[in-house]
């Protein structure tokens, strides 16, 4: 079946260091979403990328969608302790049911103050 692979599974950084998580699909995505789940919390929508090569920024967060629409990344510049949590990507496939999001396993980010 269709899968979205996400790496790394865990990332521990010192506060102020950068962080990147990557998602990869073997087949083309129609769009991809990113969610953040704080420890003990629930997934919260961050952003959606639709166009090939799209780049969007939210303050210290930069989201990219690959040219082939098969991969995406989330980069956090100068991490803070408030960035702690699990970051998930969720892709939609062309030709599939529009409501069906295929989630990656997530990357758990911990930040040492």
Partner 1 sequence: ETGVTQTPRHLVMGMTNKKSLKCEQHLGHNAMYWYKQSAKKPLELMFVYSLEERVENNSVPSRFSPECPNSSHLFLHLHTLQPEDSALYLCASSQDVQGALETQYFGPGTRLLVL
Q: Tell me if 55 contacts partner 1 by CB under 8 A.
A: no
Q: Tell me if 4 contacts partner 1 by CB under 8 A.
A: yes
Q: Indicate the pairing of strand 71-76 with strand 19-25.
A: antiparallel
* In contact, 4 and 104? CB cutoff 8 Å: yes
Q: How far is the CB of 105 from partner 1 (least distance, A)?
A: 5
* In contact, 63 and 48? CB cutoff 8 Å: no
Options 12, 51, 57, 100; binder of partner 1; rule CB under 8 A: 100
Q: Tell me if 85 contacts partner 1 by CB under 8 A.
A: no
The site map against partner 1 for 14-53 (x = CB under 8 A) is: ----------------xx-x-x-----xxxxx--x-x---
Q: How far is the CB of 70 from partner 1 (least distance, A)?
A: 17
Separation CA 113–CA 111 (nearest Å): 6
* In contact, 91 and 101? CB cutoff 8 Å: yes
User: Token match 């970051």: residue?
Assistant: 87
């Amino acid at each position: 079946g269709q899968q979205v692979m996400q790496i790394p599974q865990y990332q521990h950084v010192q506060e102020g260091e950068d962080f990147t998580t990557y998602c990869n699909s073997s087949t083309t995505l129609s769009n991809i979403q990113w969610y953040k789940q704080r420890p003990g919390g629930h997934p919260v929508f961050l952003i959606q990328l639709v166009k090939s090569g799209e780049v969007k920024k939210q303050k210290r967060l930069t989201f990219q969608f690959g040219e082939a629409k098969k991969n995406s990344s989330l980069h956090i510049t100068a991490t803070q302790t408030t960035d702690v949590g699990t970051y998930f990507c969720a892709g939609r496939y062309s030709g599939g049911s529009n409501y069906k999001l295929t989630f990656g396993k997530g990357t758990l980010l911990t930040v040492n103050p």
